[in-house]
Structure 1
Amino acid sequence: MQDEIDLEQENAALRARIAELEARIGSLERLADSDTLTPLPNRRFFFRAIERAVAQRARHGTPAALLFVDLDRLKEINDAHGHSVGDEALIHTAWVLREKVRGSDVVARIGGDEFGVLLEYAEPEAAYDKASALVAAVKAAPLHGRLPITVSIGVTILQPDDTPDAALARADAEMYRAKRAG
């Protein structure tokens, strides 16, 4: 009888420990997928989201678009106002981007002054319209009400055989084209 009680107590303790470890693993996974500065997912998370969208495109023909967003003049902001203001500009831009897309869209910080936006179920025209709207939204929301912030955005439509790197490279090239065009 005592052996059964001891086993039940040991099982309960093990279940509690397993639950604690699972919670820690979940916390570590969230940290591994999060940008350390902005409240956004990071590049690692974004690449997995692109892979899922490409698989959906290949299986079901589901349209999706990728936007490559570059925060303009971040080096100038850092040089003129300090890196803390540059960090604020990144956080502010992240907030504007997240607020101006659908809840199902993915916005991530993918590099220093670069963000990615994955628009699932977006036809090309809708993707270009969203890119224009995001450029306008960021411009209309200066940091601290006075420091102008602008972005340049490149758009690409995901293809059934895309890799995250290939899609990002196309969107990056389009972003530089947009930046040169002003």
Structure 2
Amino acid sequence: MSDKHPAKDAVGDPSELLAEIERLRCQLAQYERRFVELDRLANRDPLVDLPNRRSCLASLARLIARVDAYGIQAAMILADVDGLKAINDKFGHNAGDTAIKQISRLLVASVRKHDCVARLAGDEFAILLEHTDELQAWLLALRIVETVDEHPFHIGKANVPLSVAVGVTLICPRDHPEAVIERADREMYRIKAIRPRK
């Protein structure tokens, strides 16, 4: 008669089973960390750790849906950094990156915690404003222009002036994210054409 334990034979060595469970837990944790990292890479700008264009478009689509469903007021500010190419050409791309970081900090500090500041492209930022009418959005946009103007940007011993051009648009029911950005962009270039250069 065999002295083997049937239950033990069915499940195998308990220590081996526990080791396998632990291995699978570690593997799952690695996959979860990798997923978080891939999600960050897909949705965050690596230089300034703000939402990127892809993430901004998704947030804008959700905001349009809330405007559509609840009739709230919302707006978007588009901010374009003036003279970034000149900084890159004269002082190098590291200096340009530092300028972008400074601008992003100033933008984030200028808005409410629940507002969304995103980097759309090299020198373009978008700010999504919920429960905000057109006048409030323009007042904030002009305050941002003044804030950037008043903050010196130093490269070594050189004091390099930074400025931003801004455009504002309301977000309408049944709007499309790209259409919102295009309207703000057109408004920004209209303002840029009439604003005196520093």
Normalization by structure 2: what TM-score? 0.85
Q: Does 1:73 align with 2:77?
A: no
Q: Report the alpha carbon displacement of residue 80 of structure 1 after superposing the two structures with TM.
A: 2.6
- Count of equivalent residues: 182
Partner SS for 1:36: coil
Identity of aligned residues (%): 40
Runs of 4+ with >4 A deviation: 6-9
Deviations 1:74-122 (A, max 9, x none): 1222223222222211111111111111111111110111111111121
Which has the larger Rg? 2
Alignment of 1:150-169 (within 5 A): 150-169=163-182
Bigger drift between 162-171 and 84-93 goes to 84-93
Q: Report the alpha carbon displacement of residue 147 of structure 1 after superposing the two structures with TM.
A: 1.5
Alignment of 1:1-182 (within 5 A): 1-2=7-8, 3=11, 5=14, 7=17, 9-144=19-154, 146-182=159-195
Partner SS for 1:68: strand
Instruction: List alignment gaps of at least 5 residues for structure 2.
Output: 1-6
CA distance in 2 between partners of 1:78 and 1:20 (Å):
39
TM-align CA RMSD? 1.8
Deviations 1:127-169 (A, max 9, x none): 1111011111111112129221000000001011111110000
CA distance in 2 between partners of 1:84 and 1:19 (Å):
35
Q: Report the alpha carbon displacement of residue 12 of structure 1 after superposing the two structures with TM.
A: 4.7
Instruction: List alignment gaps of at least 5 residues for structure 1.
Output: none
